[in-house]
Amino acid sequence: MAGGVGVGLVLCLLGLLVVGTYSAAAGLMGAGGRALGLAKGAVPAAYQSLVQKWGALCPALSPALLAAQLYQESGWNPKAQSPAAAQGMAQFIPGTWATHGVDGNGDGKRDVWDPEDAIPSAASYDCDLAKYVKGTPGDATRNMLAAYNAGAYRVIQYNGVPPYRETQNYVKTITTLAKSFEAPTGPVASSRQAAAAIYFAQKRLGTKYLWGGDGTADQGGRFDCSGLTKAAYHSVGIELPRVANDQWNAGPHPSRDQLLPGDLVFFAYDLKDPRTIHHVGIYVGGGYMINAPYTGAVIRFDKIDTPDYIGATRVTSDGAKALPSSGTA
């Protein structure tokens, strides 16, 4: 990462940056719609064209929605297997695959472990469900997702999303998570908790970095990069995953010229694959972030404009809650 700047100088500027940027952002709440396309870098490059193509298979589906389902099911792991025998990137159980698996790449076989079959099959299955519940009152996409979770019969029976907590949570989770894969067509709403998260991180300036550090007493209050961002947002009641590349999907992705203080900024080995994200910081304005850089350094201000900058996430409470559970690292 680029070398830090004088803490005193940036602290003097920080208040002006935050206040000025938030004043300018006051009119952004609720502004703009969302496109059906994918945000740059949101989907691993190996699967982006498949998700873009098959996500447009029917009106109830979108590339972002299909991406959200695949990420929630397997985290883009084509070899994922659950204790319930769900298999592959789309987590089909054998019986469902037997009836709904398709030969997406035309090689003469339907392979649940092959993303070129699994991704088209997931889209095809979604659209089959949308056909089954077509004509049911309510939003077609929400009804499709409800049918995926509870079955088409229940959606028809209840004239829409059935009153099951699990199903209602699933519909909310996928539609919320989809926002982290969409390409915004307008300004992304600013975070109400961002300033307090920055305040938390600012108070840790000068603290030595610790790999795997969560800021606990036995660790001397030390952090690594994702430990710092997790703790900063925990201080405002938002629970992020522990790993930086899982924090990437905690909300929509503003463009570089739309960054606001409090956005998480990310750095990756491969700018076309968010699963290669290796570092995260908290944007404070003016092209700078607060971050815990690496062993031997201290929490400090650094520039974000480096060759490995992949993008940013505007954290939302619902976005964080929608993320699948993950391990620590």
Indicate which residues carry an active-site annotation: 225, 279, 291
The residue whose two tokens read 């850089």 is 293
> At CA 239, angle to CA 42 and CA 72, rounded to 5?
40
Measured CA to CA, the distance from residue 186 to residue 223 in angstroms comes to: 35
CB 241 within 8 A of CB 326: yes
Measured CA to CA, the distance from residue 268 to residue 59 in angstroms comes to: 34
Measured CA to CA, the distance from residue 275 to residue 253 in angstroms comes to: 15
Tokens, residue 316: 């939302």
Measured CA to CA, the distance from residue 122 to residue 113 in angstroms comes to: 12
Instruction: Residue 26: count other Cβ atoms within 10 Å of its Cβ.
Output: 8
Measured CA to CA, the distance from residue 76 to residue 80 in angstroms comes to: 9
- Judged by DSSP in three states, 184 sits in strand
- Judged by DSSP in three states, 268 sits in strand
Measured CA to CA, the distance from residue 140 to residue 289 in angstroms comes to: 41
Crossing angle of the two packed helices 63-74 and 45-54, in degrees rounded to 10:
130
Handedness of CA 82, 133, 155, 325 (dihedral sign): positive
Crossing angle of the two packed helices 165-178 and 63-74, in degrees rounded to 10:
120
Tokens, residue 177: 């998570």
CB 78 within 8 A of CB 104: no
Residues linked to residue 283 through DSSP beta bridges, in sequence order:
289
